[in-house]
Amino acid sequence: MTVQRLLLLLTMGASLAACQPGKIPIGNPESPYPPAHEPQVGDILHLPTGIYVDQATLIDQASRAQIVYVGETHDNPASHQLQATILRALEKRNPGQVSLAMEMFTPSQQPVLDLWTAGKLSEKEFLKQVDWFGNWRMNYALYKPLLDLAKEKHIPVVALNADKKLDAEVSHSPLEALSEEERNRLPEMQADPYQVAATRAFYGGHVQGKAALAGFERVQTLWDESMAEHLANYLKSDAGRGRQVMVAAGGNHIQFGYGIPRRVFRRIPASYLLVGSREIEIPADQQQRLMDVDMPRFPMPSYDFVQFTRYEKLAEPGVKLGIMIKKADGGIQVLDVIPDSLAEKSGLLKDDLLTEIDGVPLTDIFDLIYELQHKSVGDTLSLKLVRDGQEMNMSIKVTEKAPKHGMSMQHGKK
């Protein structure tokens, strides 16, 4: 036997042994090359190589991929700033050839998104027509820089997520129990073992039972398959063919690639890059927001590039009167007044019908929410209302941002 053949057989044997199940991999598959030093806020790490890079390198690599997935922490402004930075840079590199695809919208909202990026809607009209506070409910200030940029540069925004009604149906019923019409509305659904493991880890602390867990898993698959299908269909369409797309979605839909990215590639094999952020500084008063999750280990890095950030708390915008409300004929009815709130101190009463604020007619709860979100402590509000059949004018000096009892941003409470 020649030396060359012996070396070949030894090499093949080593390769086969490495592929045998049960063998412990060398190092950590999620971080195969440990970085040279502990990350600092602002550092950008290329996870597959363990090499720190600058922002210019990240942008250069992103500009070469057809799809750039940027995973976010929904309530961290630093995460959204990364998205806006990348989108602006991509548009500068490929002017007029970049689109933005977003988890936060569904295809039924696409006509409104098109009007927004065409510059045909004010911010208030846009938020009202997409029912932002009813559908997504996150502080709009988090997404404002990204959506303002899309409007400024006329960057098409593509709605990705599943229809809310279908979401509810899949959550409550196994797929085989859905009607034929409902099943026809589903995307191609394929379970993924890594997503199943992650979903069960996130669900671990809950006690709702196996049926609820199964519904939770179905919905996770529905979301990712729907977003993948809508993105793939866009890339195949006349409007999207050949365009570069930045995807803004929660990190759990992007990291490790098993959520949206692999499912898109199954439909259309486009090149892609995974980018995310990771909080390494979290203020003590925000530690309770961390989820206690025992995540499984995965055999691949979570992202191609990760930027390390601090968790930044964004103050809720505007002020709150301290009232519970509902839409009524002719205005907004006060259902209750929070004790010791600005509303009570100013003389608002239960059953008052609010009809105007600062000259703006109140035809919907959103009208009141939007106006209050643009007020500050020190401002004076001019209200028109009807009490016991009599029209009244009321001037309210804003002396506090919110009732000490705390009020939710949900509809019905303001």
The structure tokens listed for 50 are 């363990």
- Regarding whether 227 and 300 lie in a shared domain, the answer is yes
Predicted pLDDT of residue 61: 97
User: 61-70, 300-309, 404-413 — which is least confidently predicted?
Assistant: 404-413
What is the CA 81 to chain-centroid distance, rounded? Answer: 13
- Regarding whether 329 and 203 lie in a shared domain, the answer is no
Q: Which domain holds residue 295?
A: 44-310
Question: How confident is residue 203, by pLDDT bands cut at 50, 70 and 90?
Answer: confident
- Flag whether pLDDT at 11 surpasses 60: no
**Whole-angstrom distance, CA of residue 407 vs CA of residue 404:** 8
pTM of the entire predicted model? 0.87
**For residue 370, which of 358, 353, 386, 384 has the smallest C-alpha distance?**
358
Domain end residue (candidates: 252, 285, 310): 310
Predicted pLDDT of residue 282: 86
- Regarding whether 370 and 267 lie in a shared domain, the answer is no
- Regarding whether 182 and 105 lie in a shared domain, the answer is yes
- Of residues 15 and 85, more confidently modeled: 85
Number of domain units in the chain: 2
Tell me, yes or no, whether 315 lies in a domain: no
**How crowded is residue 187: how many other Cβ atoms within 10 Å of its Cβ?**
21
* 8 Å CB contact between 142 and 204: no
Residue 359, domain CATH: 2.30.42.10
- Regarding whether 302 and 184 lie in a shared domain, the answer is yes
End-to-end CA distance of the chain: 85
Question: How confident is residue 21, by pLDDT bands cut at 50, 70 and 90?
Answer: low
Phi and psi of 345, rounded to 5°?
-65, -25
Q: Using CA atoms in the order 282, 283, 285, 289, what is the torsion angle rounded to 10 degrees?
A: -10
**Whole-angstrom distance, CA of residue 57 vs CA of residue 70:** 16
- Regarding whether 366 and 285 lie in a shared domain, the answer is no
The structure tokens listed for 110 are 């696409």
Predicted pLDDT of residue 206: 53
- Flag whether pLDDT at 108 surpasses 90: yes
- Regarding whether 158 and 61 lie in a shared domain, the answer is yes
Tell me, yes or no, whether 259 lies in a domain: yes
Position 355: which residue type? T
3-state helix, strand, coil in the chain (%, to 5): 40, 20, 40
**Whole-angstrom distance, CA of residue 17 vs CA of residue 12:** 9
Indicate the SS3 state at residue 111.
helix
**Whole-angstrom distance, CA of residue 284 vs CA of residue 238:** 50
Position 211: which residue type? A
**Whole-angstrom distance, CA of residue 118 vs CA of residue 103:** 20
Q: Quick one: average pLDDT of 136-156?
A: 95
pLDDT above 90: percentage of residues in the chain: 75
Most confident of 210-214, 301-305, 398-402: 301-305
The structure tokens listed for 89 are 């840079």
The structure tokens listed for 369 are 């929410």
Tell me, yes or no, whether 51 lies in a domain: yes
Domain end residue (candidates: 285, 310, 335): 310
- Of residues 26 and 258, more confidently modeled: 258
Question: How confident is residue 9, by pLDDT bands cut at 50, 70 and 90?
Answer: very low
- Regarding whether 216 and 239 lie in a shared domain, the answer is yes
Q: Which helix (H) or strand (E) holds 72?
A: strand 67-72
Phi and psi of 58, rounded to 5°?
-60, -45
**Whole-angstrom distance, CA of residue 127 vs CA of residue 143:** 12
Position 15: which residue type? S
The structure tokens listed for 382 are 């001019």
**Whole-angstrom distance, CA of residue 149 vs CA of residue 167:** 30
- Nearest 5°: CA angle at 237, between 234 and 241? 85
**Whole-angstrom distance, CA of residue 109 vs CA of residue 99:** 16
- Regarding whether 357 and 298 lie in a shared domain, the answer is no
Question: How confident is residue 295, by pLDDT bands cut at 50, 70 and 90?
Answer: confident
- Regarding whether 141 and 81 lie in a shared domain, the answer is yes
Question: How confident is residue 315, by pLDDT bands cut at 50, 70 and 90?
Answer: confident
Average pLDDT in the chain: 89
- Regarding whether 226 and 87 lie in a shared domain, the answer is yes
- Regarding whether 334 and 277 lie in a shared domain, the answer is no
Position 233: which residue type? N
